[in-house]
Amino acid sequence: MTQSVHRPVMLEEVLTHLLGAAGRRFIDATLDGGGHTAALLQRTAPEGCVLGIDRDPDLITAVRTTLAAELESGRLLLASGSFQALTRIAAARHFEPVDGILFDLGLSSYHLEASGRGFSFMRAEPLDMRFDPCDDSIETAADVLRTRTVDELAAIFGRFGEERFAGRIAGRIIVEREREPITTTTQLLDLITAALPARVRWRAARSAARVFQALRIAVNDELEAVSEALPQAVSLLAPGGRLVVISFHSLEDRMVKQFFVAERDAGRLRVLTKRPLRAAEEEVAANSRAASAKLRVAEKLG
């Protein structure tokens, strides 16, 4: 599993901005494989502390092994749960106020390559897509495809995936699910390909990527989680504390930008990045997923 946990994106930029203000208490709201957290702990040794949060219990378990020494020393605290409950999680661990909070909203390489939950159309897997596979209250991607109307599916693909042929793909799914349940990534990819006009079928992978993204966002209620977590993050920051957010698609980045502007206008934040920072060419060459990363930073006013 540790081989498939993605390397931390824009690590030096994250450290530069989080450590740009005085302080040694941080929250990594999207722990993943612990890459950003490990670097923060190393740079702030011996007094720095991090509270790491992740929805996926498998990732929490992996970090308990890779950062066992930091856990034993008390410099690292872990919480399994959604950053949607950021304030409650921090309060329960008496970890407030803090000097910096990081959100890395990208999808983990573990989820794509090794989770077996259907996040990628490149692998034949069940259509699950839940970040927390133990939470039976959350519908799987297969459930969404089985229960939503054609208009609801088209809205999901159009809004969360910005897919041009959302209506055609939704219509095809409705027809085909009457014949047999759509439960695997291979089935869904074939349906997406068949639904596209013949002239664009050669680039079906692009539409598939957008549809799979849209389903993942819908299953995990990702945009609502971000919308609810950002104000909580501001409330947890000490004056001068930094909020760093890395997003990977336009929907999230637009939400973060608008939130920063509104908080700036309300006198609560100072925006430190007029435009989002992008990964350096060298990083993109070594890690292609960094190409779409956008990093924004704001500082809490006193």
Cβ-based neighbour number of residue 27 at 10 Å: 32
Q: What is the pLDDT of residue 22?
A: 66
Cβ-based neighbour number of residue 164 at 10 Å: 15
Which residue, chain included where needed, has tokens 């409650």? Answer: 88
Q: What is the pLDDT of residue 3?
A: 45
Query: What fold is seen in the domain 116-220?
Result: DNA polymerase; domain 1 (1.10.150)
CATH topology match: 2-110+222-300 vs 116-220: no
Residue from 14, 5, 2, 62 nearest 40 by CA: 14
Q: Is 267 exposed, middle or buried (0-12, 13-18, 19+ CB in 10 A)?
A: exposed
**Is 2-110+222-300 a domain of CATH 3.40.47.10?**
no
Q: What is the pLDDT of residue 112?
A: 87
Cα separations (Å) of 238 from 26, 76, 233, 297? Answer: 11, 19, 10, 15
Q: What is the pLDDT of residue 20?
A: 76
Q: What is the pLDDT of residue 2?
A: 45
Q: What is the pLDDT of residue 55?
A: 94
List per-block mean pLDDT (blocks of 10 residues) for the chain, which spans 302 residues.
65 93 87 95 93 95 96 97 97 96 89 91 96 93 98 98 97 97 98 97 96 97 97 97 95 97 98 96 91 96 90
Provide the 3-class DSSP secondary structure of residue 22: coil
Domain ranges of the chain: 2-110+222-300, 116-220
Provide the 3-class DSSP secondary structure of residue 117: coil
Predicted model pTM: 0.93
